[in-house]
Amino acid sequence: MPDRLNGSYYRATANAWRTQASLGSSLNCDVVVIGGGFTGLSAALACAEKGLSVVLLEAQTIGFGASGRNGGQLIPGLRWSMREIDAEFGRERAQAIFNLAYGAVDRVKHRIAEHHIQCDAKAGHLEAAYKPAHFDAMQRDAAFLAQHFGWEAQIVQSQDIGRHVHGGGYHGGIYDAQGGHFHPLNYALGLAKAAQKAGVRIYEHMAAQTPVDTGTQIEIQTGTGAGAATLTAKHVIMAADTWTGGIAPDLRSYTVPIMNYNIATAPLPNADQLLPSDAAVADSRFVLNYFRLSADKRLIFGGGEKYVQTPPADIGAFVRKHIAEVFPSLGNVPIDYAWGGAVGVTMNRLPHMGRKGNVFYAHGFSGHGALVTTLAGELMAEAVVGTMSRFDVFANFPHSRFPGGKWLARPLATLGLLYYAMRDRL
Ligand SMILES: Cc1cc2nc3c(=O)[nH]c(=O)nc-3n(C[C@H](O)[C@H](O)[C@H](O)COP(=O)(O)OP(=O)(O)OC[C@H]3O[C@@H](n4cnc5c(N)ncnc54)[C@H](O)[C@@H]3O)c2cc1C
């Protein structure tokens, strides 16, 4: 990954963390977890709490992937509104999906409180309407959510939007006091410490190869040269998100990686005027702008996507034009940090979870993973000990592969995404 993707504000303000020493040449355990992001860490912690012996392998460092780079926006639910979910799956299934997807908010809050995770967690999320038609749809969604599922979010008329954001010219929005924002890398590191305390052995810089099911156990090779090791386990949890295809080629075409970029400005003297309620804000465009304040009053802003893997030569300049659209007064604001990462997106924008024998997987949270990944990890831990009912609610989402095979899937998906991005501009 190019260096210019790694210069994040989160890395610069990460809490201290110490990983396990070296692994040795062989190791046997109940569960090997592959990937040290929210999903893998949550799964590892939950497995250890169930009394299982757990090893977590992370190819780089904890939070190296999307979990340590994201916008930190805690947005309850999934990418589909409950109105869409209800229409597609019927009330009974919608209720089960609601219980999990919206219950994920409490799981994250619970983990933060239980393990005293210092991650600058704040309450309040605003979805801001970019077009009047978006606001109409938002109001219908919010009314449906309240009436049928009892989830109350506040409708904010356009004349009141300044309570939350001064900029953007938004046509109203939905304020959800149960959403919020946090420092994602410090949340990941907090989960890692909690997992370690619960007995999970965490090894960084140890990339797992494709798990091999021998019929009696699963073998995982990791490391190279003198550091090579063979792990054997009863179960494997794959939590490698956009890298999943590298260890499970048959899962590759279920997601495409979309590059997304973030910056952190210098601390802003007028930060509280720009975002008076300190809520995180995401607008309703297909390629959205999303922003919030850090604990030290920087604007953390994400905007613009790229459908090629190569990052812009100057990420700050790339994001700056989107900042200026929302906050014209910040057109020349100093940018202290700029970074980027890959968002794993499925065809239908719902997470892709499932199992192949004793290998469980979850990936493709489609830009909506800051809350749901903690839950997804816990669902996989339940499945490992044989409790399938909640896992199956998510594992039964209907998924299709991106067409085009190994070489054409990304270009074809790109064409589709560009079409939707263009519609926003019309
Ligand atoms: C720029 C950006 C902004 C985003 N903003 C938001 C947001 O504001 N709100 C929101 O809800 N969601 C957001 N998302 C999405 C969210 O961050 C992800 O859905 C979530 O973090 C995925 O977590 P994960 O643990 O599944 O994957 P990751 O965090 O990507 O973790 C996967 C880990 O697996 C490791 N790995 C890969 N291959 C191997 C291997 N072979 N062996 C061992 N380890 C391996 C990787 O190094 C990585 O650390 C954003 C994503 C990006 C990229």
Give the domain CATH number at 58.
3.50.50.60
Find the domain containing 110 and state its range. Answer: 3-419
Residue 205 burial (CB count, 10 A) = 15
Total number of domains in the chain: 1
Q: What is the pLDDT of residue 1?
A: 58
Q: What is the pLDDT of residue 2?
A: 62
Whether residue 426 is contained in a domain is answered as: no
Whether residue 219 is contained in a domain is answered as: yes
Ligand 1 pocket check: which of 45, 70, 319, 337 to mutate, most ligand atoms within 8 Å of Cβ? 70
In degrees and rounded to multiples of 5, residue 126 shows phi and psi of -115, 125
Number of the ligand 1 atom closest to the C-alpha atom of 372: 11
Average pLDDT, the chain: 93
Q: What is the pLDDT of residue 268?
A: 98
pLDDT tens digits for range 43-67: 999 999 999 999 999 999 999 999 9
Q: What spacing in Å lies between the alpha carbon of 215 and ligand 1's midpoint?
A: 31
Q: What is the pLDDT of residue 417?
A: 58
In degrees and rounded to multiples of 5, residue 85 shows phi and psi of -65, -40
Whether residue 206 is contained in a domain is answered as: yes
Q: What is the pLDDT of residue 403?
A: 80
Number of the ligand 1 atom closest to the C-alpha atom of 246: 41
User: How many DSSP H helices and E strands does the chain contain?
Assistant: 12, 17
| Residues in contact with ligand 1 (CB, 6 Å cut-off) | 34-40, 57-60, 64-67, 69-73, 75, 207-208, 239-241, 243, 246-247, 260, 262, 290, 302, 340-343, 365, 367-370, 373
Q: What spacing in Å lies between the alpha carbon of 353 and ligand 1's midpoint?
A: 15
For atom 37 of ligand 1, which residue has the closest CA? 240
**From CA 308, how far away is CA 306, in angstroms rounded?**
6
pLDDT tens digits for range 176-202: 999 999 999 999 999 999 999 999 999
**From CA 392, how far away is CA 198, in angstroms rounded?**
26
For atom 4 of ligand 1, which residue has the closest CA? 70
Q: Which helix or strand (DSSP H or E) is residue 221 part of? A: strand 218-222
- Only one residue has tokens 């959403």, namely 179
Q: Using an 8 Å Cβ cutoff, are 247 and 209 in contact?
A: yes
In the predicted model, residues of the chain with pLDDT beneath 50 are: 422, 425-426
Whether residue 176 is contained in a domain is answered as: yes
Q: Which residues contact 130 (CB under 8 A, 6 or more apart)?
A: 170, 171, 283, 284, 285, 424
* Beta-bridge mates of residue 352: 363
Q: What is the pLDDT of residue 182?
A: 98
Whether residue 425 is contained in a domain is answered as: no
For atom 19 of ligand 1, which residue has the closest CA? 369
